[in-house]
Amino acid sequence: MKDFFYGIQDLFVDYLFAPYDMLRELQLDSWFGANVVSWLFIAIFAVLFAYWMKQLSLFDPEH
């Protein structure tokens, strides 16, 4: 049973958290490069928010 939990640990630490480790190392070299992910999420949010507002305007009774 202990090997099962060590397997889960290896999966997360060695494989699934690897992108976060790369971003942490990139931050020391390039602040802009490390924050591209944040800017990407902000851009996606802005597009989705605009789409949501457009869809809400379709149901406006005074429209």
CB 34 within 8 A of CB 26: yes
Instruction: Note the pLDDT tens digit of each residue in 4-56.
Output: 999 999 999 999 999 889 988 988 899 898 899 899 999 999 999 999 999 99
CB 22 within 8 A of CB 29: no
The domains of the chain are located at 2-58
Q: Read off the pTM.
A: 0.61
